[in-house]
Amino acid sequence: MLRRFAPNEYLASAIEVDLQALKARGIEGLIVDLDNTLVPRYEDEPSEELKGWLQEVARAGLRVCIVSNNWTSRVAAIASELGVSIVKGAGKPLAKAFRQGMRILGTRPAETAVIGDQLFTDVLGGNRLGLYTVLVVPLSDKEMLHTRVLRKLECRVLDALAKRRMISSDVG
């Protein structure tokens, strides 16, 4: 049961993802969460560092689709500014959200990685479909109430994963 929540990688931020290693694994597309993965939850402007990283992603030959449970116009505006496709109001961890992202990317599960900050949406959903999953530390502690509640449970699961050496305990 715990294995469903174990990411393939656990990193401090999306920008730390080794793009060449993903390419070597056969990854062609990235499904990436938006809030607290690429942009802090209540911010409207993507950082210059993020824009630079997305240029590196493109140079590496990887395609990107943001898949977000957020449905506001802010999400679409940020995706537009970044020049990437988006699935908003996705309903992660449901498989439909990830399949829609893969359709946009033109990838199969073995060719797709998920990068996100939540175990119960991004990692669980990606793992259920056999995608390569990367958990990152949230960019901000400013979150919606239901996410703050889930974070308490998430901390327990992360501790259990670390105790079983299923993730590195020195990231978060």
Please check whether residue 71 lies inside any domain of the structure: yes
Residue 135 in contact with residue 117, Cβ under 8 Å?
Answer: yes
pLDDT, residue 141, reads 81
Task: Look up tokens 């607290």; give the residue.
Answer: 36
Please check whether residue 121 lies inside any domain of the structure: yes
d(CA 169, CA 151): 16
pLDDT in tens, 75-88: 999 999 999 999 99
Q: Which residue has the higher pLDDT, 19 or 170?
A: 19
pLDDT in tens, 103-157: 999 999 999 999 999 999 999 999 999 999 999 999 988 777 777 888 888 999 9
What pLDDT band is residue 62 in, cutting at 50, 70 and 90? very high
Q: How many domains does the chain have?
A: 1
Return the structure tokens found at 48: 């210059």
Please check whether residue 73 lies inside any domain of the structure: yes
CATH of the domain at 9: 3.40.50.1000
Residue 136 in contact with residue 11, Cβ under 8 Å?
Answer: yes
Please check whether residue 47 lies inside any domain of the structure: yes
Compute the chain's Rg from CA coordinates.
Answer: 15
Task: Report the Cα 107 to chain-centroid distance in Å.
Answer: 16
Please check whether residue 25 lies inside any domain of the structure: yes
pLDDT, residue 93, reads 96
Please check whether residue 168 lies inside any domain of the structure: no
Please check whether residue 172 lies inside any domain of the structure: no
pLDDT, residue 168, reads 78
pLDDT, residue 169, reads 66
Average the pLDDT over each of 8-12, 23-27, 68-72 and give the range with the smallest value: 68-72
Beta bridge partners of 86: 66
pLDDT, residue 171, reads 72
Task: Report the Cα 19 to chain-centroid distance in Å.
Answer: 14
Q: What letter represents residue 56's amino acid? A: E
d(CA 100, CA 129): 12
* Segments forming the whole domain that contains residue 33: 2-163
